[in-house]
């Protein structure tokens, strides 16, 4: 990741056979598990936070399986550990982030009348999508 001028910019390397011995056009290095069970894409995603967002048609329930999470839920901020969970009601402004070095694995359960990705209203975003 590059942190030029205060922005976080994820950089995902690409390329095919020859750059890395196990990399193939049909299975590039981004999809290989090199250091542990996580791929390069997953390891990048584990270090960043979701955008501060809300949904108008769905609620979410997050269960931490591994690691630690900082959850923002409206004006409340809480720390969740393994085997802990939080309910994010419909319309709630929320974010989840990994504050540590241990990968954050979680289960997200969505419920509501409409579950497509265009129901995300981003209020703040490190990738400037808000």
The mean pLDDT value for 3-24 works out to 51
Token pair 């090199």: residue: 34
The model's pLDDT over 85-126, given as tens digits with 9 standing for 90+, comes to 999 999 999 998 888 888 888 888 999 888 888 888 888 766
User: What tokens does 112 get?
Assistant: 């509501």
Domain spans of the chain?
Answer: 1-48, 50-130
The residue ranges of DSSP E strands in 2-125, in sequence order, are 52-55, 58-66, 69-73, 76-80, 85-88, 94-97, 105-112, 120-124
The CATH code belonging to domain 50-130 is 2.60.120.10
């Amino acid at each position: 990741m590059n942190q030029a001028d205060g922005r976080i910019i994820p950089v995902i390397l690409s390329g095919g056979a020859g750059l890395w011995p196990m990399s193939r056009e049909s299975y590039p290095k981004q999809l290989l598990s090199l250091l542990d069970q996580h791929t390069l894409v997953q390891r990048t995603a584990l270090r960043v936070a979701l955008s501060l967002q809300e949904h108008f048609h769905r609620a979410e329930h997050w269960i931490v399986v591994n690691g630690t999470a900082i959850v923002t839920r409206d004006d409340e901020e809480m720390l969740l550990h393994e085997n802990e969970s939080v309910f994010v009601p419909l319309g709630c402004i929320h974010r989840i982030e990994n504050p540590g070095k241990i990968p954050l694995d979680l289960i997200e359960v969505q419920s509501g009348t409409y579950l497509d990705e265009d129901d995300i209203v981003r209020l703040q975003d490190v990738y400037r999508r808000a």
